[in-house]
């Protein structure tokens, strides 16, 4: 009887200790929950197998959708929204080529550029012309815009009194960072004194007010006794050529301007190249079929200027 009482007493003591331990754990967990929001991994209640959900806490003050508010009280206040780029003064914005929602790239408008390609010598600008002769001027227009849509540019030419100017096309549309060409035809009066007469070429964006200009010259002359000179013949003198065809070529220049170049193969007239007013060098090219023409041959080149002076060059070569 006494033993049974002792066992019952021990059982009550063990059960009390167990309840006391569970109570202590519950108190500790309640204190943790009260002191701080739970973040990170889930906490498991001892002896239950159940988890307390771990929800991250957002401490950021949210503004409008897609942006985050900067802290108040000074500092660097930058928008986090990367959707658009603000253009600088004198610029505009346009959608980027790759799409990407509202993303934009900056468009920078710049003054156009213009130059005249005519030269009568190395870095000598202008063209030679006789009284009453029409000359052609090649106008190089450049669009210096960056990342913008195409623009239309208008060209005008200012010439001295008595000169006639014709612009078949006075406008050109160009994409950003591209170049285009236009032609102007200028005729001098007759009579007119020899000399250099300036021509001013101006280009501006259509409706714009920031033009660019370049100056070239109409160089009037009325006498010339120097014959053109010829150089860089192809084939060269004494060479041997082969194949089914060959490009015969020559370059020629004059102290004023070359008008035409004739080619004679084996003393037979073959072709003529007419020279433009743009460059001081005139070239002739002729594609010659040499199949079955083995043996020795000659090529004679004759260069004429506008005053009738003639320069002649003959080469002898072999077709193998």
List, run by run, the mean pLDDT of 10-residue segments along the chain (320 residues). Answer: 41 51 60 48 38 37 34 32 31 46 76 97 93 98 97 98 98 98 98 98 95 98 98 98 98 97 98 94 98 97 98 98
Q: What is the value of pTM for the model shown?
A: 0.67
Token digits of residue 264: 């004679």
- Write the CATH number of the domain with boundaries 113-220: 2.60.40.2310
Cα 86 from chain centroid?
23
Exposed, middle or buried by CB within 10 Å (0-12, 13-18, 19+), for 108? middle
Contact 114, 203 (CB under 8 A): yes
Q: Please report the pLDDT score of residue 262 as a whole number.
A: 98
Q: Please report the pLDDT score of residue 20 as a whole number.
A: 64
Q: Please report the pLDDT score of residue 122 as a whole number.
A: 84
Would you list the domain boundaries of the chain? Answer: 113-220, 229-319
Alpha-carbon torsion, ordered 10, 16, 19, 25, to 10 deg: -100
Q: For residue 203, count other CB atoms closer than 10 A to its CB.
A: 26
Report d(CA 209, CA 112) in Å as an integer.
Answer: 11
**Which is it for strands 310-319 and 240-241: parallel, antiparallel or unpaired?**
parallel
Same fold, 113-220 and 229-319: yes
Report d(CA 199, CA 241) in Å as an integer.
Answer: 47
Token digits of residue 307: 């005053």
Q: Please report the pLDDT score of residue 298 as a whole number.
A: 98
pLDDT in tens, 139-197: 999 999 999 999 999 999 999 999 999 999 999 999 999 999 999 999 999 999 999 99
Q: Which residues contact 283 (CB under 8 A, 6 or more apart)?
A: 249, 250, 251, 252, 261, 273
Q: Please report the pLDDT score of residue 170 as a whole number.
A: 97
Topology at the third CATH level for domain 229-319: Immunoglobulin-like (2.60.40)
Q: Please report the pLDDT score of residue 29 as a whole number.
A: 53
Using alpha carbons, list the distances in angstroms from residue 40 to 28, 55, 153.
18, 8, 65
């Amino acid at each position: 009887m006494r033993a049974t009482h002792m066992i019952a007493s021990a059982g009550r003591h063990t059960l009390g200790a167990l309840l006391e331990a569970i109570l202590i754990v519950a108190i500790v967990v309640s204190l943790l929950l009260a002191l701080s929001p739970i973040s990170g991994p889930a906490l498991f209640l001892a002896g239950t197998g159940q988890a307390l959900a771990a929800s991250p806490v957002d401490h950021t003050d949210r503004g409008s959708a897609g942006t985050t508010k900067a802290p108040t009280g000074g500092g660097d206040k930058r928008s986090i929204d990367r959707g658009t780029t603000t253009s600088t003064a004198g610029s505009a914005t346009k959608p980027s080529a790759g799409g990407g929602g509202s993303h934009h790239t900056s468009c920078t408008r710049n003054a156009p550029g213009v130059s005249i390609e005519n030269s009568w010598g190395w870095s000598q600008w202008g063209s030679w012309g006789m009284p009453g002769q029409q000359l052609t001027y090649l106008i190089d227009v450049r669009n210096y815009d960056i990342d913008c849509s195409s623009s239309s540019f208008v060209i005008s030419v200012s010439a001295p009194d008595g000169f006639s100017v014709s612009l078949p096309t006075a406008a050109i549309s160009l994409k950003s960072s591209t170049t285009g060409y236009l032609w102007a035809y200028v005729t001098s009066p007759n009579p007119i004194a020899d000399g250099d007469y300036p021509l001013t070429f101006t280009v501006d964006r259509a409706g714009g007010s920031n033009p660019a200009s370049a100056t070239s010259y109409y160089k009037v002359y009325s006498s010339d006794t120097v014959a053109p000179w010829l150089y860089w013949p192809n084939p060269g003198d004494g060479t041997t050529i082969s194949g089914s065809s060959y490009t015969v070529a020559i370059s020629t220049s004059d102290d004023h301007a070359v008008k035409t170049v004739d080619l004679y193969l084996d003393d037979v007239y073959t072709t003529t190249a007419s020279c433009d007013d743009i460059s001081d060098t005139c070239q002739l090219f002729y594609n010659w079929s040499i199949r079955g023409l083995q043996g020795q041959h000659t090529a004679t080149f004759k260069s004429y200027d506008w005053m009738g002076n003639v320069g002649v060059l003959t080469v002898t070569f072999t077709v193998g």
